[in-house]
């Protein structure tokens, strides 16, 4: 059974195949063509952690693919009343074709997938946010910033050796950037306060992947150094859901990690700004940057819809043991 729990679970070619599907499906959608590749299929959407973009993009996405989405919050599930994960997973997966989970603890996601008889997709966990990263890379592709390759077969000129600068918390977004960069082979620079660097075990995985992919990964505390010559500058909120008790301390620790016009001015000409949202203007990013000409946050958020459709169709194809998928 192939699940989608972290980008590290897939080869470079598999990641690009998902993105190629996403691009093809998006183009068909823009031309007004129907894409019923999951006709009659049902997606269970389990939200232990609430969301705007994840809820809308998955529910609309499965609908546009010809399927049906079921929204399940803690108040809808016996999980919220103490039922063990093993039982919930076995029962729910016996009734649906695919499951998306957005949860606080990555361990819960892993356990759910262990006992599921259908593909499980990570909609977000405290360790990784892989769906967001595929949407981010799709946005980079559409802006001509990606590693050149034959699989995508995109016609436009591109920055074939892109540099991405991530500034801020070494959280699930930083972890996911590490997995994507180390798999696809582009340069990733992370500027995080020392106490908030990604965990050593995550960095070790990325460094090992980079040995074969040719990726270059650097970690420092200087936001201006990582921004120099970057093609993409990205950040995340300083205080994520569930970290409210740490807010006062985090505000102090991250006060010098705002992405503003001075930071963006150091980037390469044509650089873009990304943020997974929700964003807090005036904190991790200034208003003139997030609302400026270089910002691609709405395009990025919209691409969650199409990136996730690509993943769902790919997973269905793999788990149905179809030889090829013609689109």
CA within 13 Å, CB half, 298: 5
55 is in an annotated binding site: no
Please check if 74 is assigned to a binding site.
Answer: no
Active-site annotation holds for 276: yes
Annotated active-site residue 132? The verdict is: yes
Which of 98, 239, 102, 225 has its CA nearest to residue 163? 225
Two tokens, residue 198: 């990604």
Q: Is position 264 annotated in a ligand binding site?
A: no
Tokens of 133: 């990263």
Strands (DSSP E) contained in the chain are 42-47, 68-73, 98-102, 120-124, 163-167, 187-191, 216-220, 232-235, 272-275
Q: Do the annotations mark residue 132 as ligand-binding?
A: yes
Considering only CA atoms, which of 241, 308, 310 is closest in space to residue 53?
308
Is residue 130 part of an annotated ligand binding site?
yes
Query: Would you tell me the crossing angle of helices 172-184 and 200-213 to the nearest 10 degrees?
Result: 20
129 is catalytic: yes
78 is in an annotated binding site: yes
Q: Is 276 annotated as a binding residue?
A: yes
Kindly report whether the peptide bond that precedes residue 278 is cis, defined as omega within 30 degrees of 0. yes
Question: Does the active-site annotation cover 222?
Answer: no
Any binding-site annotation on 236? yes
Any binding-site annotation on 6? no
Q: Is 160 annotated as a binding residue?
A: no
Q: In what side-by-side order are the strands of the sheet with 187-191?
A: 216-220, 187-191, 163-167, 232-235, 272-275
- How far apart are alpha carbons 98 and 37 in whole angstroms? 14
Q: Which of 64, 276, 294, 308 is catalytic?
A: 276
Active-site residue among 132, 169, 250, 316? 132
Which one of the listed residues 3, 106, 250, 304 is annotated catalytic? 304
Please say if 29 is a catalytic residue. Answer: no
Q: How many CB atoms lie within 10 A of CB 111?
A: 16
Burial class (CB in 10 A: 0-12, 13-18, 19+), 282: exposed
Q: Which residue of the set 3, 55, 102, 306 is catalytic?
A: 102
302 marked among binding-site residues: no
| DSSP secondary structure letters along 176-212 | HHHHHHHHHT-EEEEE--GGGPPPHHHHHHHHHHHHH
What residues form the annotated binding site for carbamoyl phosphate?
51-54, 78, 102, 129-132, 276-277, 304
What residues form the annotated binding site?
51-54, 78, 102, 129-132, 172, 236, 240-241, 276-277, 304
What residues form the annotated binding site for L-ornithine?
172, 236, 240-241
Query: Any idea which residues carry the catalytic annotation?
Result: 102, 129, 132, 236, 276, 304
């Amino acid at each position: 059974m192939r699940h989608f729990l972290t980008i590290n679970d897939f080869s470079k070619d598999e990641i690009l195949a998902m993105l190629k599907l996403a691009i093809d499906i998006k183009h068909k959608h823009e031309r007004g063509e129907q894409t019923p590749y999951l006709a009659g299929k049902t997606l269970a959407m389990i939200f232990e952690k609430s969301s705007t973009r994840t809820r809308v993009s998955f529910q609309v996405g499965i609908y546009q693919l010809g399927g049906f989405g079921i929204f399940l919050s803690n108040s809808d599930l016996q999980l919220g009343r103490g039922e063990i994960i093993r039982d919930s997973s076995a029962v729910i997966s016996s009734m649906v074709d695919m499951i998306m989970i957005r949860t606080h603890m990555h361990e819960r996601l892993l356990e759910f997938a262990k006992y599921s008889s259908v593909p499980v997709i990570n909609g977000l966990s405290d360790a990784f946010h892989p769906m967001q990263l595929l949407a981010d890379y799709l946005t980079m592709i559409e802006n001509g910033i990606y590693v050149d390759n034959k699989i995508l077969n995109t016609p436009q000129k591109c920055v074939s050796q892109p540099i991405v600068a991530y500034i801020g918390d070494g959280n699930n977004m930083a972890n996911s950037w590490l997995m994507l960069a180390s798999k696809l082979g582009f340069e990733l620079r992370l500027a995080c306060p020392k106490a908030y660097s990604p965990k050593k075990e995550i960095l070790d995985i990325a460094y090992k992947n980079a040995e074969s992919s040719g990726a270059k990964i650097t970690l420092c505390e200087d936001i201006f150094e990582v921004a120099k010559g970057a093609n993409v500058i990205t950040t995340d909120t300083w205080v994520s859901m569930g970290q409210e008790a740490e807010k006062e301390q985090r505000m102090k620790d991250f006060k010098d990690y705002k992405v503003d016009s001075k930071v963006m001015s150091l980037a390469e000409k044509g650089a873009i700004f990304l943020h997974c949202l929700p964003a807090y203007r005036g904190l991790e990013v200034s208003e003139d940057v997030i609302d400026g000409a270089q910002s691609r946050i709405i395009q990025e958020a919209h691409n969650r819809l199409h990136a996730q459709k690509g993943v769902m169709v790919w997973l269905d194809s793999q788990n149905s043991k179809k030889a090829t998928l013609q689109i």
